[in-house]
Amino acid sequence: MKRHLASHFASLLLLAALGLTGCDSMPGEVHGRLGPAPETTRTFQADPRTVYDAARAALARMEFRVTGGGPAQGRIEAVSGLSKKDSLQGTRQISISIRIISLSDGGSEVSVELKEVIEENSADRPGFATETKLRDTPYSEVFFGGVAQALAPPKKG
């Protein structure tokens, strides 16, 4: 019996060692895909309240609905409209969390986290959804472009 347990333990130890060795051979790829999503951050040369208003304007152009936060809190929570999944029974939505921090030079740092919210079968199981952090998505670039556009001085013409 002891010999049988020892052979199982040795096999498990060997598998664990091989698994860890495989991770070391591709550290960037494994950590890049399985690690935390990179936080998207930009700096703007405007006070936090002005940046907050510009962020709200950018979200409105993207057709996101603000669900929480405020200028005093330095954060905004918002969601996109619902879209139907391919199965026509589920829904998909994008949520965005924005943090605005005042910098010592009078500027503001804006951090964005985007999540995809999927409800597979809203007809049979309403309210059961999964959230997944989005990586490499154009939403953050569109948002930051909208903030920059809202902060730009009006064109004289």
Q: How far apart are CA 131 and CA 56, in angstroms?
A: 23
Q: Taking 70 as the threshold, does the pLDDT of residue 63 lie above it?
A: yes
The answer to whether 89 touches 82, Cβ cutoff 8 Å, is: no
pLDDT in tens, 6-53: 555 455 444 454 454 444 444 444 444 556 655 689 999 999 999 999
Place of tokens 């079968």: 121
Q: Residue 88: left (phi > 0), alpha (psi -120 to 50), or beta?
A: left
Question: What's the one-letter identity of residue 50?
Answer: T
Span 55-69, mean pLDDT? 97
Give 45's DSSP letter.
S
Tens of pLDDT, residues 72-121: 999 999 999 887 655 556 788 999 999 999 999 999 999 999 999 887 76
CB 98 within 8 A of CB 84: no
Query: How far does the chain reach from its first CA to its final CA, in angstroms?
Result: 89
**How many Cα atoms occupy the beta-carbon half-sphere of 133 within 13 Å?**
12
**Contact yes or no for 106/45 (Cβ under 8 A):** yes
Q: Residue 122 to residues 53, 85, 89: CA-CA distances in angstroms?
A: 34, 10, 6
